[in-house]
Amino acid sequence: MKQRSFALRGDLCWSRDPQHLNTLRDGWLVCVDGRSAGVFETLPEAYANLPVEDWSGHLVVPGLVDLHVHAPQYTFQGLGMDLELLDWLDRHAFPEEARYADLDYARKAYTRFVEDMKHGPNTRACVFATLHGPATLLLMDLLEASGLVAMVGKVNMDRNSPDTLREESPEAAEAETRRWLEASSGRYERVSPIITPRFTPSCTDGLMERLGRLRKEFDVPVQSHLSENRGEVALVQELCPWSRFYGDAYDRFGLFGGDHNCIMAHCVLSGDEEIALMKERGVYVAHCPQSNTNLASGIAPVRRYLDEGLNQGLGSDVAGGSTLSIFRAMADAIQVSKLRWRLQDQSLAPLTAPEAFWLGTAGGGAFFGKVGSFDPGYELDAVVLDDSRTAPVLPLPVEDRLERAIYLSEDRDVVKKFVRGTALW
Amino acid sequence: MKQRSFALRGDLCWSRDPQHLNTLRDGWLVCVDGRSAGVFETLPEAYANLPVEDWSGHLVVPGLVDLHVHAPQYTFQGLGMDLELLDWLDRHAFPEEARYADLDYARKAYTRFVEDMKHGPNTRACVFATLHGPATLLLMDLLEASGLVAMVGKVNMDRNSPDTLREESPEAAEAETRRWLEASSGRYERVSPIITPRFTPSCTDGLMERLGRLRKEFDVPVQSHLSENRGEVALVQELCPWSRFYGDAYDRFGLFGGDHNCIMAHCVLSGDEEIALMKERGVYVAHCPQSNTNLASGIAPVRRYLDEGLNQGLGSDVAGGSTLSIFRAMADAIQVSKLRWRLQDQSLAPLTAPEAFWLGTAGGGAFFGKVGSFDPGYELDAVVLDDSRTAPVLPLPVEDRLERAIYLSEDRDVVKKFVRGTALW
């Protein structure tokens, strides 16, 4: 069933920009060598000889992109939601992540993460593993075998965590990170490493400095957390009194975009200076609405980031968020934007469904290149949904069926999935 | 498979009050003549001859109770979420409800509503139909046949809606409501009528007066909407300048509890006087967190209502909410309570999972009598969940599995369901 060139028939939805949702009922999406050759009302003569994937009556959307997810935390999705960030890390996240020193445990847990992601609507993700090099490589092996595309980070952390989950010194951390980078760089077709300081409270300046050097040496992107929670922001100010704002504490070490791709998760509490620097450096905001709700962090000003033209996508942030599907993140993003508008700031209009769909497809997809749309030239990630389970009495336009999928789809509705033009099953 | 006395084995969770969640791994729940005879660690000798329902390893919870749902709106669940209440009614709810003049349409739509509710985790609901008597009776017939327990209201509305969905006069409305009450009262074992003025903006004083009289004459409960949205509250003040507050505009006509059971949905914007009167009259608050988010209404002070001892339960408010399952309403209630705490008022602590579980079982169940718990004497509604789909690597305590079910369960996880001791399949 694997094929890199084909013509797919179905009810198509895709975005070019946040404001414009394109839909085509009973249209043709042509894939040539893993990339879109375009969308057509009738199949052009030139493609008449391609194999046909006939998904008539099904909803077909670009693969969804998860810009921020913690694979080892998937074991406790939907649990321990009664704490704020720093206590939640101590009580739930750190003890669980410590278990990944055990490769048997890691294999069981990561297998379930990868299997569930494979069968849901996401095709790409930027993933935090743990600080353990071997378990991180195992996760990368499993992701590569699944056919998904992912950037995966061995996490770095050398302070403010239990002995069982802390690197011994900046030097030891650098050595382990170098081993992991050497082992993983160029080893995979679809999976690649990404430098991953957990966040400033977990990383000494000495470690950050070394990570900045490794980043340059191996020419890899960066992911971390930024301005999620009040206690965390205050702690960063205390730990890095020299920093002008939280983001500056990454920027100082060359870990805040500019000459490299960089994702910062959350950005709930970013101030004007921080936002200006994110924009200047092209930093991607990974908006994680469910996690920011569960950990009572607040609601990020996504509308402002859209208006100012920042790079932006969505993150599930499992297990701060409970659900892998980025459809759920789209719904959550719309919903919390309404509460923000109602309770906090009526100058920022709520998100629309097309905007949320763009964030979860082309918005986040741009971090991976030309990804997240069906426009010609885009890498062809496509998800075929059987939405008959929730079909109403009267037929709906494709656009309405998409809105419904955002609110109601379940992973089992995904009946076929292509990544870079290759079917995952 | 139908039986009214049996001994059920499984991993049991139930509440007595909002603060105390009871759990028992591998316990026995005994049902005698449709009521709980109690929960036991080992099956007492006295019940040794009962037929056994062995659901070892499964999670077993009381049936969930939906205190507020619009059956005719189920056709557009997850659609049209970009408007506030009054515009949303005009654009989406009213045109759809007008279709239920057609009994063929009503049968198709209501059949899907009832089938989906039957197979999800809810066992009881207080349901708004439309203003059409015949379609409302049809819905009641379908609910009765399903084995679910429901109170169903023919909606009354004689102003501020399109010609296609408005009763001609208070007199005509009274006559039609009387016909419906006469046809439905005593006709069913599990379904009963409930007086349902849509809300004050839709009902003239003359209609309200007549509904108050009918309520008394037929000795039935009442359901309506209260203080959901700012525009609505202002409109009520304009329409009923004599009212001290919105709830007073029901109370004046004997439609606000006291000598009868009464549910008011939403109560997002209720002030001190209104809250005091709800408490005095024993009015049930139906908290509908997802709907209040989708329609950008705000977040109700559920913690205050709990602290003050008001009657309270959860509502899906489909299609203001997109999802029938009250598990989802529990998760939403917890989540929005955190955002309310963070953004609006730090004097009201967020809800805990046990509190949300209580609201969705015994809290709302009390509207139906001794319902929503496994304590002895309660009517036995029970839902058996197969939670293996989301099982983690290491086994979890029952309490944690329940928290997970709140966030992650899907309707398909419901493998068996009892209402008043009778299996639905």
* Contact assignment for B81 to A344 by CB distance below 8 Å: no
CA nearest to B73 within chain A: A392
Q: What is the model's pLDDT at position A1? A: 44
pLDDT greater than 50 at residue B323: yes
Please state the rounded mean pLDDT for residues B145-165.
97
Residues of A in contact with B334 (CB under 8 A): 81
* Spatial distance between the Cα atoms of B174 and B183, rounded to a whole number of angstroms: 14
Contacts of B82 in chain A (CB under 8 A): 350, 352-353
Which residues of chain A does B385 touch, with a Cβ-Cβ cutoff of 8 Å? none
User: In degrees rounded to 5, what are phi and psi of residue B192?
Assistant: -145, 155
Q: How close A232 comes to chain B (CA, Å)?
A: 15
Contact B404 A112 (CB under 8 A): no
Among B254, B275, B243, B112, CA closest to B195: B254
What are residue A194's phi and psi, to 5 degrees?
-140, 130
Q: Which of B80, B108, B299 has the CB atom closest to A339's CB atom?
A: B299
3-state secondary structure of A7: strand
Contact A293 B338 (CB under 8 A): yes
CB contact under 8 A, B105 and A406: no
Residue of B nearest to A76 (CA): B392
**DSSP letter string, A200-259:** GGGS-HHHHHHHHHHHHHHT--EEEEES--HHHHHHHHHH-TT-SSTTHHHHTTT-SSSS
Q: In the structure, what pLDDT confidence band is assigned to residue B80 with cuts at 50, 70 and 90?
A: confident
Domain layout of chain B by residue ranges: 6-62+372-423, 64-368
* Model pLDDT, residue B207: 98
Cβ-Cβ contacts under 8 Å, A331 against chain B: 322
| Min distance A406 CA to chain B CA atoms (Å) | 8
Q: What is the pLDDT along chain A (425 residues), one digit of tens a residue?
A: 456 999 999 999 999 899 999 999 999 999 999 999 999 999 999 999 999 999 999 999 999 999 999 999 999 999 988 888 999 999 899 999 999 999 999 999 999 999 999 999 999 999 999 999 999 999 999 999 999 999 999 999 999 999 999 999 999 999 999 999 999 999 999 999 999 999 999 999 999 999 999 999 999 999 999 999 999 999 999 999 999 999 999 999 999 999 999 999 999 999 999 999 999 999 999 999 999 999 999 999 999 999 999 999 999 999 999 999 999 999 999 999 999 999 999 999 999 999 999 999 999 999 999 999 999 999 999 999 999 999 888 999 999 999 999 999 999 999 999 999 999 99
Strand-pairing partners, residue A124, are: A65, A149
The pLDDT value recorded for residue B2 is 58
pLDDT tens digits, B116-130: 999 999 999 999 999
pLDDT digits (tens, 9 = 90+) for B198-227: 999 999 999 999 999 999 999 999 999 999
Tell me: the pLDDT tens digits for B9-57?
999 999 989 999 999 999 999 999 999 999 999 999 999 999 999 999 9
**Span B369-398, average pLDDT:** 96
Q: How many CB pairs under 8 A join A and B?
A: 120
Beta strands in A318-405 (DSSP E): 382-385
Pick the CATH number of A64-368 from 3.30.360.10, 3.30.70.260, 3.20.20.140, 3.40.50.720: 3.20.20.140
Do the beta carbons of residue B302 and residue B350 sit within 8 Å?
A: no
Q: Which CATH class is domain B6-62+372-423?
A: mainly beta
ipTM: 0.97
Nearest to A299 among B76, B339, B408 (CB): B339
Name the minimum distance, in Å, from the CA of B4 to any CA of chain A: 32
Substitution target in A74, A82, A399, A411 with the highest count of B β-carbons within 10 Å is A82
For residue B399, count CB atoms less than 10 angstroms from its CB and return exposed for 0-12, middle for 13-18, buried for 19 or more. middle
Confidence of residue B132 (pLDDT cuts 50, 70, 90): very high
CA distance A16 to chain B (A): 21
One-letter amino acid at A126 equals C
